[in-house]
């Protein structure tokens, strides 16, 4: 009965791509807790205060039934004000929020043009949606424009959609969002910007790289809570008509148990910290600058200029071997392999967080230089 699953797992093992869960160990260069909020005293106190005032742990049902709680609504109002959008809709995670967007909003006859490196959750939403889809080369603005022009020339009558990330999770780079918005305006297209890895870290007051475009009728953004904000969940920021449509039509919203009201209350504090306390962002920015210099000096590798530093190794096994060597030295770094990244680009994804200091970063890159030479 289970042979087919066993065979599949054996195949993954033979390719060196079998995954397994493992615990935390060593200096953190892997998590997305960029600002060190997840284990902060501020959020612990927010949790205790919310419990003390009677905020429930569980919601008890979907938002459309009894699961809608005042903490959800307060969080959405505060998120919309913070990010500068007309409305916000809170989901249990960024993955399910992207699933809701792309399985619900683009309609039959529409075209979704998406960056080839877009999040897996977008791909999953597109598979469940009704629109035609087209992948374009990474960060190629002209390709987006050309794809829409050709689609119209072939008789495309619906609405074009453009889907990108503001900061790519495996490359640490960004598209020219202003140029993309110009393309969207020219073609009366909707622009969907996934801010997952920029939220809380980049842009004015941590509002993300699309902060200047929030509130426009043709812009939808996604902000996650489980990375720099240190909690769980995700927001869709959009015009009110889009929010209302999702509430009425998005199956991942309608049929899901509502997120924890307690987590919503804690996330309100995380947003307030992000809005009013720039010290964490400034600390991380200094670390990013230092890491870029050290990576270049010790390893001869140019950094991304952001808190996500990819070190391309190439083969799957070599990436696993270098990661294992670094783990033995006390650095929590994981190998990222296909299909998460393209074939031949297995890598170390080094995430910088405020949980480490400059001395630890310097020690990491010294060890990395030695281990890469040993693996060559």
Q: Which of 276, 294, 328 is the last residue of a domain?
A: 276
Q: Which domain holds residue 364?
A: 22-39+278-375
pLDDT bucket at 352, cuts 50 / 70 / 90: very high
Summarize pLDDT for 308-324 with one digit per residue, the tens.
999 999 888 889 899 99
Q: Do 327 and 256 belong to one domain?
A: no
For residue 108, tell me if it sits in a domain: yes
pLDDT at 376: 66
In a domain, 66, yes or no: yes
Q: Are strands 87-91 and 234-238 parallel, antiparallel or unpaired?
A: antiparallel
* Listed residue (81, 93, 121) closest to 237, CA to CA: 81
Q: Which residue from 10, 14, 17 is spatially nearest to 339, judged by alpha carbons?
A: 17
Residue 18's pLDDT band (boundaries 50, 70, 90)?
confident
pLDDT in tens, 170-186: 999 999 999 999 999 99
Q: How far apart are CA 341 and CA 79, in angstroms?
A: 32
pLDDT at 371: 83
Please write the tens of the pLDDT for every residue from 242-259.
999 999 999 999 999 999
CB neighbour burial string for 243-282, b if at least 16 within 10 angstroms, e if fewer: beebeeebebbbebebbbbbbbbbbbbbbebbeeeeebbe
- Residue 72 and residue 182 in one domain: yes
What's the pTM?
A: 0.95
Show which of 253, 276, 299 is a domain's final residue. Answer: 276
Condensed to tens digits (0 to 9), the pLDDT of residues 197-217 reads 999 999 999 999 999 999 999
Mark whether 214 and 83 lie in a shared domain: yes
Indicate if 283 and 269 belong to the same structural domain.
no
The total of structural domains in the chain comes to: 2
Residue 28's pLDDT band (boundaries 50, 70, 90)?
Answer: very high
- Does the pLDDT at position 25 exceed 90? no
Residue 361's CATH number:
3.90.1150.10
């Amino acid at each position: 009965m289970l042979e087919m699953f066993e065979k599949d797992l054996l195949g993954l093992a033979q390719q060196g791509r079998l995954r397994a869960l493992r615990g935390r160990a060593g200096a953190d260069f892997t998590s997305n807790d960029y600002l060190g909020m997840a284990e902060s005293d501020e959020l612990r106190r927010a949790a205790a205060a919310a419990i003390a005032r009677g905020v429930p742990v569980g919601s008890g049902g979907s938002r459309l039934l009894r699961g809608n709680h005042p903490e959800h609504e307060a969080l959405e109002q505060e998120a919309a004000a913070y990010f500068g959008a007309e409305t916000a809709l809170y989901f249990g995670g960024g993955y399910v929020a992207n699933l809701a967007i792309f399985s619900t909003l683009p309609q039959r006859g529409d075209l979704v043009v998406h960056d080839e490196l877009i999040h897996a959750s977008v791909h999953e939403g597109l598979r469940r949606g009704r629109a035609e889809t087209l992948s374009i080369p990474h960060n190629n603005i002209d390709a987006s424009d050309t794809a829409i022009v050709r689609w119209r020339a072939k008789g495309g009558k619906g609405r074009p959609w453009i889907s990108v990330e503001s900061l790519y999770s495996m490359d640490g780079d960004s598209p020219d969002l202003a140029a993309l918005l110009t393309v969207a305006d020219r073609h009366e297209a909707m622009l969907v910007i996934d801010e997952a890895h920029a939220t809380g870290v980049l842009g004015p007051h941590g509002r993300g790289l699309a902060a200047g475009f929030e509130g426009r009728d043709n812009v939808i953004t996604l902000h996650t809570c489980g990375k720099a904000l240190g909690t769980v969940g995700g927001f869709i920021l959009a015009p009110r008509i889009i929010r209302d449509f999702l509430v009425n039509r998005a199956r991942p919203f309608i049929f899901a148990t509502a997120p924890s009201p307690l987590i919503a209350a804690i996330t309100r504090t995380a947003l307030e910290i992000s809005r009013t306390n720039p010290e964490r962002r400034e600390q991380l920015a200094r670390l990013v600058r230092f890491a870029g210099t050290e990576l270049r000096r010790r390893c001869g590798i140019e950094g991304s200029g952001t808190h996500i530093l990819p070190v391309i190794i190439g083969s799957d096994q070599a990436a696993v071997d270098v990661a294992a060597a670094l783990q033995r030295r006390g650095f929590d770094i994981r190998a990222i392999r296909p299909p998460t990244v393209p074939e031949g680009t297995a890598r170390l994804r080094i995430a910088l967080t405020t949980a480490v200091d400059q001395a630890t970063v310097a020690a990491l890159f010294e060890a990395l230089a030695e281990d890469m030479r040993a693996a060559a």
